[in-house]
A and B are shown apart, each in its own frame.
Chain A
Amino acid sequence: MMKLTVNGEPHEMSENAPSVRDLVVQLGFGDAPVAVEVNKQVVPKRDHETHALADGDVIEVVTLVGGG
C-alpha cells in the first residue's frame, strides 16, 4: 500500500507502481483539466502516464475556479 499526501489529506493507492494518471483517474477527475504537482514540482500533462508515484509523495491536484 502506497501512502501519499494528496491535497493535504492522507491518501492510499493499492496499485503496483501507480502513475500520476492513475491517481487523477482514481480521484474522479478523468479527462477534466487538472494540474498536478508532485513534491512542489509541476508534472506536465504529457508526463502523467509515465511519472511514477513514490511512497511519501506530497501531491497537489488543482483546477481553475472563479476568482478575481
Chain B
Amino acid sequence: MHNQSVIDSALDQPLQLGDHQLHSRLIVGTGKYENYDLMQKCLDASGAEVITVAVRRERLVDKEGRSMLDFIDTDRYTILPNTAGCFSAEDAVRVARLGRELLDQLNNPGKDWVKLEVLGDKKTLLPDPMGTVEATKELVADGFKVLCYTSDDPIMAVKIKEAGATSVMPAGSPIGSGQGVLNPNNIRIILELLKDGDADYPVIVDAGVGAATDVSTAFELGADGVLMNTGIAHAKDAFKMAHAMRYAALAGRLSYLAGRIDKKLYATASSPWSGVISYIPGE
C-alpha cells in the first residue's frame, strides 16, 4: 500500500530530528490499546515512522502470552524510548540508558535518542522543570539526542533548548486529557523564541490531543510535529481515529505551509459582481 502519510516531496520537506529524517510528522505512542492486534493496525494506519515505547520491569503479556514487541516490526519503525513515569532526573537518566541498551539489542536506529519526561506530580503529569533541565544536560553529555516533554511555558522551553535538547516538546494540554491545544498563544511564543535565528529547530506538540482538529491546530500554529497516544488508543474506534490523525497531520501541515488568508469582518464574494442580472441592494 502506498504510504499516504508521506507528503509529496514537492510540497514539504522531511522533518529532521537529530540524525533521523521523518517523512510522517506524526509520532504515536503504543500504550493503552485494547489489544496488541489493534495497536499494530493503528500504528500502521497512523502512517507514523516513529513510535514511542516505555521501559518497565514487568514483561506485560496478553492472554496468549505475547508481548508488545511481538507486534512491532523493528525494521519498519524507529523506536523512541521514553522515560514516562520518572519523577527525578536520576531515574529518568537510568531509564534512558536502559532504553538505549534495549534498542541496541534490537539493533533499532532509535538507540541514540530518548523522549525525556521528568514528572512533578502524578495527578497533573506536569513536568518537574528543574529535574527536566538537569536530566537533559546529563543525557546530552552522555551522547543522547533528547526530545524533551515540557509544559507550554515559553521560558522553560528556552531553558530546555539551552540545555542541549534536540527538540522541545510542549504539551498542548495535560497528558491523556484530550483537551487539545489549550493555549495556542504560548505555543506561538515558544515557536517564535526557539526558532529565532534557528528556523529549523524542531518543536513538537506532545500530549493533550483529542481530535483531528487538535492535530491540525498544532501544525497550523507552526509545530514541526505532533506526538500523541491516548487520542487514538482510547477513541471509540481507534482504527478510524488513527486514519483521522494521519490526515489531520497532513492537512494541518499543508495548511500552515500554504499560508492561510487573513480573517476579515465582512464577506467577500467568490463570484464576480459584473454581469449579475439581478437588482443589487444599495447600488
Interface residue ranges, A against B (CB under 8 Å): 7-8, 29, 32-37, 40, 42, 44-45, 60-68
Number of interface residues of B (CB under 8 A): 40
Partner of B32, one of A35, A42, A68: A68
Complex CA distance for A60 and B233, rounded to whole angstroms: 29
Using a CB–CB distance below 8 Å, which chain B residues touch chain A?
28-33, 39, 52-60, 67-69, 79, 81-82, 84, 94, 97-102, 104-106, 175-176, 227-230, 233
Contacts of B228 in A (CB 8 A): 68
Closest to A33 in B: B105
- The dominant DSSP class at the B interface is mixed
Contact partners of B227 in chain A: CB under 8 A: 68
Contact of B68 among A34, A45, A62, A66 (CB under 8 A): A66
**Cβ–Cβ < 8 Å partners of B79 in chain A:** 64
A66→B101 contact, CB < 8 A: no
Q: How far, in whole Å, are A32 and B59 apart by their CA atoms in the complex?
A: 10
B98 interface neighbour in A7, A62, A65, A68, Cβ under 8 Å: A62
CB distance from B232 to the nearest CB of A (A): 9
Closest chain B residue to A37, Cβ basis = B98
B229 touches A68 (CB 8 A): yes
CA distance A62 to B39 in the complex (A): 21
Q: Are B101 and A44 in contact (CB under 8 A)?
A: yes
Q: A5 CA to B102 CA in the complex, in Å?
A: 21
